[in-house]
Amino acid sequence: MYIIKNAIRCILRSKGRNILIGIIALVIAISACIGLSIRQAAESAKESALDGMSVTATIQYDRASAMGNMSGGRPGSGGGFPGGGFDTSDFASIMGSSSSLTLEEYQKYASAESVEDFYYTLTSYFNGSENFSPVSDEVESEESEEDSEEKSSDESSDSIFDGFFGGIGGLDFGRGFSGDFSVIGYSSDASMTAFVSGNASIVEGSMFEEGTSELVCVISEELAMFNGLSVNDTITVTNPSLETETYTLTIVGIYESSENNDFSMSQFGTSQDPANQIYMSASALNVILDASKDNSTTVTDDNGMEKESEITSTLSAIYSFANADDYYAFEEEVRALGLDDSYKVSSSDISAFESSIAPLNTLSKIAGWFLIVIFIIGGIILVVLNIFNVRERKYEVGVLTAMGMKKWKVATQFMCEILIVTMIAVVIGAGIGAVSSVPVTNALLEGQVESQTSQQAQMEDGFGRPSNVGGFGGMGGVPSDMPSDMPSDIGGGKKPFGGMIGGATNYITEVNSAMNLTVVFQMIGVGLLLTLIASLASVLFIMRYDPLKILANRD
């Protein structure tokens, strides 16, 4: 107790020195408070954004990682595509093995505790028939020309893909763009996220029954108008590989979609036009797929290659989580359930969220570095000041130890002095920081957001349209590794077809409160850390002092 009393007495008797130490500690405290508040604001913004956010995720083959692990480097490294040192057979093997997990595997991972809901879609491609054609951009008068151009376009499109994939063994990675229509089978009502979110709605008839095996479907308003169809009419779709294999579907509903239908992928075929998407139950689609499998024969394609006529499908499974924590827990759970490292778990919701807080995160990182610099500089100044302080008070140390006061007690008194001064500075600094942290954070954040948006604008100017640089992970996009044939409403229904269309990121531009109890505790930690740093040198000096020598020199 007397140590604290002595410490207070010494502070009061050496005002000048302690005010100097206090000012330095105050500057550090204010800086630390603002820095910590910025970091806390980022954390709070994250938490509040994640709180109550429902998250969907997929499991995908991690091609990038697999290619990264390949001997000979990444494809295209050095500017060329499959180039020197790159083993095309490896690449082919990786790409060939990129088929999705089976439904059974997806279902196994759906048993993870964190999963709230699980649903999947099947996508297959069909051609039309005599009385059922896909919606097309081309005008009727140019039909003949269209035919040749379409073919040429297809060829061109194919040649792009052939150039891309053909050189590695002519693999067909299930592109499946060869049909006129995309037929998407949904496992449940919940999986029809566009309808769940209100981005699409039935305008005539009704949605097919959940899980029905009847060959019923809903089609888009545009497609119905284009073919003069209405509810209860039937449509006939054909196996693209075998014209004689046809299936008749009954239209039970016609939908309209408010999603972006500015279709700009004509080079990939009409099946990629959202207007040419036909929705049905996954069970019903499976009936068709099973029938096609049963009737499969060997056919020769346009390139003279032999293949099975069986209609193939792409499976896309979506896991839904109650919150982001469950999503983060999911990856560990699926690894425990046996998912190997060549697959990864990803979420477009989380990607979009991460994009939205990018400026705040950047600011948080800058604040972190700023804190480190302040600590280093401030710490050095405090250490130097305290070394001078102890040397100046060497005689006092000598007297106290000669009187029988143990060195550690003397050191404790010196530490208490620094602690008291520092804590006073921290309290004042926290007060000033609390008042100034919000406006300072918002001002800095504004700068960050401006910087990010101007970068985006620059890219858009350069491309003449929203650019796709930086992957598909922007707000409203799907991750860049999402299968390219994934239906547009996969992954929450709120997302347009990935970054190909792109969308403005809704950045967090303002924080309302930056200071909270966590920051207060952190500030106390700052005070203790400063005390520890500042007093470390003085403690070492005190422990080395010999009272006899000090007093003898004084005499």
List interacting residues with other proteins (CB under 8 A). 2, 6, 9-10, 13-14, 396, 398-406, 547-548, 551-552, 554-555
DSSP 352-384: HHHHHTHHHHHHHHHHHHHHHHHHHHHHHHHHH
Q: Structure tokens of 75?
A: 């494809």
Distance from C-alpha of 342 to C-alpha of 319, rounded to nearest angstrom = 19
> For residues 378 and 398, which CB has a smaller minimum distance to other proteins in the complex?
398
Distance from C-alpha of 208 to C-alpha of 369, rounded to nearest angstrom = 57
Shortest Cβ 324–other proteins spacing (Å): 57
Q: Which of 26, 11, 21 is nearest to 526 (CA)?
A: 26
> For residues 50 and 400, which CB has a smaller minimum distance to other proteins in the complex?
400
Which neighbouring-strand residues pair with 59? 345
> For residues 347 and 401, which CB has a smaller minimum distance to other proteins in the complex?
401
Which residues make Cβ contacts (< 8 Å) with residue 284, sequence separation at least 6? 185, 208, 212, 213, 214, 215, 216, 217
> For residues 155 and 392, which CB has a smaller minimum distance to other proteins in the complex?
392
Shortest Cβ 354–other proteins spacing (Å): 58
> For residues 12 and 139, which CB has a smaller minimum distance to other proteins in the complex?
12
Shortest Cβ 549–other proteins spacing (Å): 10
Shortest Cβ 403–other proteins spacing (Å): 5
> For residues 84 and 404, which CB has a smaller minimum distance to other proteins in the complex?
404
Q: Structure tokens of 540?
A: 């070492």
Q: How many residues does the chain have?
A: 555
Cite the beta strand spans of 180-266 per DSSP E. Answer: 181-186, 200-205, 216-220, 234-239, 242-257
> For residues 6 and 364, which CB has a smaller minimum distance to other proteins in the complex?
6
Shortest Cβ 16–other proteins spacing (Å): 13
Distance from C-alpha of 454 to C-alpha of 460, rounded to nearest angstrom = 10
Shortest Cβ 397–other proteins spacing (Å): 11
Shortest Cβ 15–other proteins spacing (Å): 11
Q: In the 3-class helix/strand/coil scheme, how is 133-164 assigned residue by residue?
A: CCCCCCCHHHHHHHHHHHHHHHHHHHHHHHHH
Task: Enter the DSSP assignment of 472.
Answer: S
Shortest Cβ 8–other proteins spacing (Å): 12
Q: Which of 46, 75, 49 is nearest to 363 (CA)?
A: 46
Question: Is residue 342 a contact partner of residue 493, using CB atoms and an 8 Å limit?
Answer: no
> For residues 13 and 144, which CB has a smaller minimum distance to other proteins in the complex?
13
